[in-house]
Amino acid sequence: VDYVRSVDYLMYGLICVVLAPPAAVFRTLQWDTDPSALQLQADSELGRRMHRLGASKIVQIDFVPKELVTYTKETQTPSAAHQSEEEEEDEESSELKASPQTDQPEEEGEAEDSKEAHPRELTEEEREQILHSEDFLVFFERSVSVVERALAEEGDIFFDYSGRDLEDKEGDMQGGSNLSFNRVFHDDHWSKHRVVTCLDWSPQYPELMVASYNSNEDAPHEPDGIALVWNMKFKKTTPEYTFHCQSSVMSVGQIVLWDNRSHRRTPVQRTPLSAAAHTHPVYCVNVVGTQNANNLITVSTDGKMCSWSLDMLSQPQESMELVYNKSKPVAVTGMAFPAGDVNNYVVGSEEGMVYSASRHGSKAGIAEMFEGHQGPVTGISCHNAVGTVDFSHLFITSSFDWTVKLWSIKHNKPLYSFEDNADYVYDVSWSPVHPALFASVDGMGRLDLWNLNNDTEVPTASVTIEGACALNRVRWASGGREVAVGDSEGRVWIYDVGELAVPHPEDWSHFARTLVEIRANRGDGEEEGAVELPA
């Protein structure tokens, strides 16, 4: 019993006893005055106390970890057959710059090391042997290429102007016209009856571009897929290099790599057809990264994205299924990376949706869906002109639904829809230098240049290419002054873009204002909250 502080005699015979131990905890005991029933009811006190016990709230601590994105780059020593390629350290194709020291291919030169002091007549057998030897072929090819160029240049005064207009290459052309025809690349042997599937300009040599073609139905014994490298600088009409491979390029799900340094026409590396790589047609290929640390990213129509190291194509470095909302894979038809980004990208799909995705990080895979097109997305291009204002969140898409749409990564509905076309729009591409300029091509043979600072309703410049049926691909040259267009007949048309293509410093702020106007005119607030790509 603790210290009794006071006792009070209450009515009804109850005594209230107040206890006050030094710790100042109060307990109240109630005694019944009837002596026979005089018992401490404190025992039930414990029971009551036990019943007062309960669980408290859960206290939690949560410190979020810092996300470390890591990459691994593996290289695999290739098998012996490729050792010869490894020995060439100089990446530049020195053949292009080799001084033409021979006027004529000297077949007799090979025979100099014969026993006779003076050259003798070669036998037929020896001749054949030399003509087919590897060294000779290399030499011959190189010389032929140089001679062809020389011949083409010298023939300037006898130049045949039909179909070609090459003189006005510098400065202003023909009274300020915006789109003027430059030349067409077409090879009767190789590119006839083949559809141009892809175009790209060389980052190292701005005058070089490569075009890939799919199979030639008329010539089944020819290789299925070819890629031709065309040179803009010289006027010769044949491709610089020709590459071919067995399967139609961009049709079966393999990646093949041709090395310009080697003198073989067949691929030096190819990826295997395996479940780890692609089993469906590969529609998009992109090289991202810097010169030294780069990856080849490929996406196929079954929604699989693989990242490859160019040193080792035997298996992908990483692969990922692009699935939206954990349900169905995305059938990808186009892919684009924003300028300077190697992690986040956007893809267009067959259903007409556009998705944003990331390669690495906690949110790797499909992030957001952008709705707007009513037909398969045929082309997608991210803004990449660098200037005073950052527009890298913008991208444009083209689709079978006759429209080109402008999007921002931050909103999952289009910012603007360009509806000037009357046929499937097959491809679209931002200018690399002008912030408000992009090109689009459609199935009626039309090439349009849109300058959004000028007009957003109609293209600023437009040309219908005569003799072309449907235009498949459009790509800007790295300087932004020329556009290459590929068509369904295997021709590559080069067009010069005039003053329109030259950006002025105020074009960036003008475009920012244009964007604000576009957003303001979007009307019935279709925004569904800012949707941001993980950084």
Binding residues (CB under 8 A) for other proteins: these are: 6, 8, 10-11, 16, 18, 23-26, 49, 52-66, 68
| Nearest distance from C-beta of residue 52 to other proteins, angstroms | 5
Q: How far is CA 528 from CA 85, 176, 256, 395, 509, in A?
A: 53, 44, 42, 18, 27
Residue 46 carries which side chain, given as an amino acid letter? Answer: L
Q: Which is nearer to other proteins, 31 or 185 (CB)?
A: 31
Q: Which is nearer to other proteins, 47 or 523 (CB)?
A: 47
Inter-residue contact 319 to 292 (CB < 8 Å): no
| Nearest distance from C-beta of residue 185 to other proteins, angstroms | 53
| Nearest distance from C-beta of residue 15 to other proteins, angstroms | 11
- Could you tell me how far CA 51 lies from the centroid of its own chain? 67
Q: Which is nearer to other proteins, 16 or 389 (CB)?
A: 16
Closest by CA to 345, choosing from 298, 382, 300, 308, is 382
User: Strand pairing partners for 430?
Assistant: 438
372-393 as b/e, with b when 16 or more CB fall inside 10 Å? bbebbbbbbbbbbbeeeeebee
Q: Which is nearer to other proteins, 66 or 132 (CB)?
A: 66
Inter-residue contact 22 to 7 (CB < 8 Å): no
Please give the angle made by the CA atoms of 117, 120 and 121, to the nearest 5 degrees: 170
| Nearest distance from C-beta of residue 9 to other proteins, angstroms | 8
Q: Which is nearer to other proteins, 27 or 82 (CB)?
A: 27
3-state SS string over 70-87?
CCCCCCCCCCHHHHHHHC
3-state secondary structure of 508: helix
Q: Which is nearer to other proteins, 63 or 158 (CB)?
A: 63
Instruction: Give the max Cα distance, the chain.
Output: 148
Closest by CA to 470, choosing from 504, 519, 421, is 421
| Nearest distance from C-beta of residue 54 to other proteins, angstroms | 5
| Nearest distance from C-beta of residue 47 to other proteins, angstroms | 14
Rounded Cα gap, residues 408 and 154, in angstroms: 51
Q: Residue 338: which residues within 8 A CB-CB, separation 6 or more?
A: 344, 345, 346, 382, 383, 384, 392, 393, 395, 409
Q: Which is nearer to other proteins, 21 or 203 (CB)?
A: 21
| Nearest distance from C-beta of residue 366 to other proteins, angstroms | 25
| Nearest distance from C-beta of residue 43 to other proteins, angstroms | 18
| Nearest distance from C-beta of residue 21 to other proteins, angstroms | 9
| Nearest distance from C-beta of residue 6 to other proteins, angstroms | 7
Q: Which is nearer to other proteins, 66 or 504 (CB)?
A: 66
| Nearest distance from C-beta of residue 49 to other proteins, angstroms | 7
Q: Which is nearer to other proteins, 15 or 151 (CB)?
A: 15
HSE-up of residue 32 (Cα within 13 Å, Cβ side): 8
Rounded Cα gap, residues 424 and 472, in angstroms: 10
Q: Which is nearer to other proteins, 54 or 163 (CB)?
A: 54
* 243-248 long-range Cβ contacts below 8 angstroms, 24+ apart: 243/267, 245/270, 248/214, 248/215, 248/224
User: Strand pairing partners for 437?
Assistant: 451
CB count in 10 Å sphere of residue 532: 13
Q: Which is nearer to other proteins, 23 or 38 (CB)?
A: 23
Tokens representing 26?
């109060």
